[in-house]
Amino acid sequence: MRFLFRSLKTFVFILAFISFSSPLKAQIPVGKGTISGDFMLNGMFYIPDSLIGADKVDSKVRANSYMYLQYTNGGFTAGMRYEFYLYPLIDFEDIGYKGHGITHYFADYKNDFIQVTAGTFYEQFGSGLTLRTYEDKYLGIDNSLLGARVKVTPYKGITLKGVWGIQRKNFDFEYLKRKDHVRGIDGEISLTELIPQMSEKGFSTSLGASFVSKYEKDEDPTFILPQNVATWGARLNFGWKGLRFEGEYARKINDPNATNEYIYKPGDALFASLTYSMKGFGISTSFIRADNMDFRSQRGTPANLALLNINYIPAINRQYSYQLISNYSYASQPNGQVGAQCQINYQIPKKTKIGGKYGTDITLNYARYHTIDKTMLPIDSITGSQSGTDGYTSNFFKWGKELLYQDLGVEISRKFDKRWKLIVAYNWLIYNMEVLQGHGGMFHGHNVAVDLTCKINSKHALRLEAQHLYSKDDLGSWVYAMIEYSINPHWFISIGDQWNYGNADKSRRIHYYNISAAFAIKTTRIALSYGKTREGILCVGGVCRTVPASYGLGLSVTTSF
Amino acid sequence: MKKLALLILLISCTLLSFGQEETKEKKLATIPSVDIKALDGQSFNTINIDNDGKPIIISLWATWCKPCIAELLAIADVYDEWVEETGVKLYAISIDDVKTAARVEPFVNGKNWEYEVLLDINSDFKRAMNVVDVPFLCILNGNREIVWKHTSYAPGSEEEVYEIVKGLVNQK
CA A55, CA A279: separation in Å to the nearest integer? 53
- The pLDDT, as a whole number, for residue A548 is 80
pLDDT above 60 (res B62): yes
User: Is the CB of B106 less than 8 angstroms away from the CB of A486?
Assistant: no
For A147, list phi and psi in degrees, rounded to 5.
165, -130
Mean pLDDT by 10 residues, chain A (561 residues): 46 44 50 88 92 84 95 93 95 92 96 95 96 92 96 94 96 93 96 88 93 94 91 96 94 94 95 94 95 96 92 90 87 95 93 88 96 92 85 93 96 92 96 90 96 92 95 94 91 94 93 94 92 80 73 93 88
Which residues in A lie closer than 8 A to residue B130 (C-beta atoms)?
36-38, 68, 70, 560-561
pLDDT above 60 (res B20): no
User: Is the CB of B42 less than 8 angstroms away from the CB of A279?
Assistant: no
Q: Are A430 and A405 in contact (CB under 8 A)?
A: yes
pLDDT in tens, A356-372: 888 899 999 999 999 99
| A358 vs B77, B103, B110: nearest CB | B77
User: Is the CB of A283 less than 8 angstroms away from the CB of B106?
Assistant: yes
**CA closest to B103 among chain A residues:** A284
User: Is the CB of B122 less than 8 angstroms away from the CB of A123?
Assistant: yes
**CA closest to A321 among chain B residues:** B64
Best B28, B97, B161 member to test A by mutation, with max A CBs in 10 Å, is B97
A117, β-bridge pairs = A108, A149
CA A442, CA A439: separation in Å to the nearest integer? 9
User: Is the CB of B102 less than 8 angstroms away from the CB of A284?
Assistant: yes
CA distances from A401 to A190, A436, B108 (A): 40, 16, 36
How many angstroms separate the CA of residue A223 from the nearest CA in chain B? 36
- ipTM, interface predicted TM-score of the complex: 0.86
CA A316, CA A341: separation in Å to the nearest integer? 7
| B155 vs A315, A361, A455: nearest CB | A455
- The pLDDT, as a whole number, for residue A53 is 84
User: Is the CB of B102 less than 8 angstroms away from the CB of A239?
Assistant: no
User: Is the CB of A84 less than 8 angstroms away from the CB of B24?
Assistant: no
pLDDT in tens, A32-57: 788 999 999 999 999 998 888 888 88
User: Is the CB of A345 less than 8 angstroms away from the CB of B111?
Assistant: yes
Which residues in B lie closer than 8 A to residue A142 (C-beta atoms)?
none
Q: Are A441 and A426 in contact (CB under 8 A)?
A: no
Give the predicted TM-score (pTM) of the model.
0.89
Best A80, A488, A525 member to test B by mutation, with max B CBs in 10 Å, is A488
| A279 vs B7, B112, B130: nearest CB | B112
CA distances from A208 to A184, A201, A246, A249, B136 (A): 14, 22, 11, 11, 32
From the list B114, B109, B101, the residue with the least C-alpha distance to B61 is: B101
Q: Considering the domain B29-171 in this protein, what is its CATH number?
A: 3.40.30.10
Exposed / middle / buried, residue B66 (Cβ in 10 Å: 0-12, 13-18, 19+): middle
How many angstroms separate the CA of residue B54 from the nearest CA in chain A? 22
- What is the residue extent of each domain of chain B? 29-171
Strands B89-94 and B56-61, by their bridges, are parallel
User: Is the CB of B154 less than 8 angstroms away from the CB of A492?
Assistant: yes
